[in-house]
Structure 1
């Protein structure tokens, strides 16, 4: 087996590399999502190794990095020099610019949703990925759960005429995840990518979407699909619930099909996500949930903004 690429070597889609060594990943961000999820998952291996963390405050980066034996990079350029892939756990406006730099430096990207704060920023990321020929993958968490994949396979066998869905929680009411960008943009940018992705995949490609309400309180989306179906999506991060609620109900001439995350253990998602990202990096074959998918979702989000 050939060795893995040296630190700083570009990892390009379509250039297979067989290696026993884990993918060396640098993490951007030291906030609650980086601490609770990204660092822990990337360090758990065996497919990936967390080698460095960079954040605006070096001390914060050190606090995230040291428990996993990683280093706190003094600059973003230093982070890029130490890794072959970059994972992002920062606000969309920050991610977009840094992701373009990483892609053009030949690094694979593990991207949060949404790609950026708006369509031009998201397109810049997708274009940079395409230009550089690097692997990219979106952290659409639920898509990596076996139950979600079972649901989507079952949905593909149905004739669907309508759908109802919701993604609701109370994280914006206070706590670690009531962050500035989420409070500013609300549930549409934070939760919308998850639900629109599932509806777009389960029902049929969305041709139009319009939103009503206030994304910082409650927003309702109406989607029209290529197959003529119509779907509704309710989004809020500011409702008091005992736990987050994500549910899709698909209707048509056959029995309804329901997807509900209430009984699911999200810990089952992370090993799948990590393994598939590492496989994509090592083989050079981009996954389906890549930056171009992120751009597609960003375009739907833009359509959904209440006028």
Structure 2
């Protein structure tokens, strides 16, 4: 029996949600309200009508202000642009609330560092929503990667999300694939191949960007990122090479719905034990540091 299927013996964690966009409606609210580990208490967003549409299906309150949201909960989940998250999450941490954070932590490295400092000062639990990392298939791939001696890797994460639709949001269109897709790919390469110590980037993040990563082991990996190409369903693929047979991670084989109950359970467990897991703000800061390096070229 997996940890995700064991009975939940604690009281549900009361979570307030910041944001009412497509990701907040389609994922955060639905998952947090499903329980039994969590309970969605309230939603706050800049547009009250959108907050009501997000909260109503689950019987959650609509908070009139961010401060009112904090009064309803013991943890805060964020589904807003990075520059909004970085500022509000610092305030939530100072109020003693656990944080469920989107990636990237912030728009730039100094803002991400301020958020990490706020979390460390307050001593609150944090967790970053790197969705695929909670998937059983991803975890099997990463476990297999630990048993091989990879000397090189190539990765590809390309979508057409920026060409139109709900996720072609202003911050994504302005900053491109590095900040939006980069955290996922860099996290997986770092976890599979060992710590990345240096990243060099080439290209335009709003069109296509190539990353070359140097790992502490001496291995080298490369990643192609774009949100502006016409591909059906998007492509996520990682290939590890060495004296062993090629080890492949193919996102087409992943059911992302399997990630969500695991994410919820692990966040609630962290809140109830007071111990953040591996995918906390410090992981987010590491990824933000690598993206800052890539932007330097």
Query: What's the TM-score, normalizing by structure 2?
Result: 0.96
Structure 2 residues not aligned, in runs of 5+: 1-7
Q: How many residues align?
A: 290
User: How far apart are 1:20 and its partner, in Å?
Assistant: 2.8
Q: Which of 52, 56, 64 is matched with 2:54 structurally? A: 64
SS in 1 for 2:249: strand
User: How far apart are 1:303 and its partner, in Å?
Assistant: 0.3
Residue 282 of structure 1 pairs with residue 272 of structure 2: yes
Q: What is the CA–CA distance in structure 2 between the aligned matches of 1:81 and 1:281, rounded to whole Å?
A: 17
Question: Which residue of structure 1 lines up, in the alignment, with residue 91 of structure 2?
Answer: 101
Q: What is the CA–CA distance in structure 1 between the aligned matches of 2:274 and 2:224, rounded to whole Å?
A: 37
**1:10-159 residue pairs with structure 2 within 5 A?**
20-159=10-149
Q: What is the CA–CA distance in structure 2 between the aligned matches of 1:121 and 1:19, rounded to whole Å?
A: 37
**1:220-231 residue pairs with structure 2 within 5 A?**
220-231=210-221
Q: What is the CA–CA distance in structure 2 between the aligned matches of 1:149 and 1:117, rounded to whole Å?
A: 28
Q: CA RMSD in A?
A: 1.0
Of Structure 1 and Structure 2, the greater helix share is in 2
User: How far apart are 1:306 and its partner, in Å?
Assistant: 5.0
Q: What is the CA–CA distance in structure 2 between the aligned matches of 1:244 and 1:36, rounded to whole Å?
A: 19
Q: Which of 201, 218, 226 is matched with 2:208 structurally? A: 218
Note if contact 1:213-1:306 (Cα within 8 Å) is conserved in structure 2: no
Question: Which residue of structure 1 lines up, in the alignment, with residue 263 of structure 2?
Answer: 273
Note if contact 1:28-1:88 (Cα within 8 Å) is conserved in structure 2: yes
Query: Against the structure 1 CA distance between its residues 109 and 129, is the aligned structure 2 distance closer, same or farther, given a 3 Å change threshold?
Result: same
- Runs of 4+ off more than 2 Å: none
Q: What is the CA–CA distance in structure 1 between the aligned matches of 2:234 and 2:79, rounded to whole Å?
A: 21
Q: What is the CA–CA distance in structure 2 between the aligned matches of 1:55 and 1:91, rounded to whole Å?
A: 12
